Amino acid sequence: MPGSRPFVLLSAAMSLDGHLDDASPERLLLSNEADFDRVDEERAAADAILVGGNTLRTDNPRLLVNDPARRAARLAAGRPAYPLKVTLSASGALDPALRFWHTGGAKLAYTTDAGAAVLRPALDGLAEVVALGGTVDLGAVLDDLGARGVRRLMVEGGGSVHTQFLAQGLADELQLAVAPLLVGQAQAPRFVHPAAFPGGPARRMRLLEARTVGDVVLLRYAPKEPAP
């Protein structure tokens, strides 16, 4: 029903040692073509896709549904061709030249009151800017997205955003594509950061699925549910 919080899916690809990327300027491709297509299918099923501001600055992603048939199916179902694209930035320091703003459909930026003073003129005509007060509270973000009719939210990072959703108990499903490589660099970004996660280190999540996708392994977990 409109007004209820969306189902939150966290999606990430990581190395065997838990990194989302290496420390080089070039993006490390952890997934393979089959897994990229799986992610595209998940994007097509989502009402909105969310990434943090740091991910926008470092990766400059477009976050599109790439398959024309999937876009056509969305349109045939009365949905926009592309999911709503969402980002978070407390500071409002987001470059209006980023590809995120110039591809796909509607965009939404959540920020603080101070950040909105920066972002609203910078993103005029590119995105709607929503000020959330002194902090960017994830619960407030989910409440606002629910009020806009977003039923399924796909969160694609980065590590800080994944950490916040998991630490606050806001993720309904976690999908991890584990690539068969080791990064081994202390400065490389990690899937999650240190945090006080619900239940602590002894709590085991329920495994929904484990399967191979080419040479990566897809692991699906229900973060809110304990293992049986």
* Residue ranges per structural domain of the chain: 7-226
- What pTM value is reported for the model? 0.96
Per-residue pLDDT at 3? 65
Q: What is the pLDDT of residues 17-59, one digit of tens each?
A: 999 999 998 889 999 999 999 999 999 999 999 999 999 999 9
Question: Is the four-CA dihedral 47, 52, 53, 59 of positive or negative sign?
Answer: negative
Q: What is the pLDDT of residue 59?
A: 92
Position 84 scores a pLDDT of 98
Give the chain's mean pLDDT.
Answer: 96
Separation in Å, CA 83 to CA 69, 90, 144, 172: 15, 23, 16, 19
Q: What is the mean pLDDT of residues 187-199?
A: 96
Arch. (CATH architecture) of 7-226: 3-Layer(aba) Sandwich (3.40)
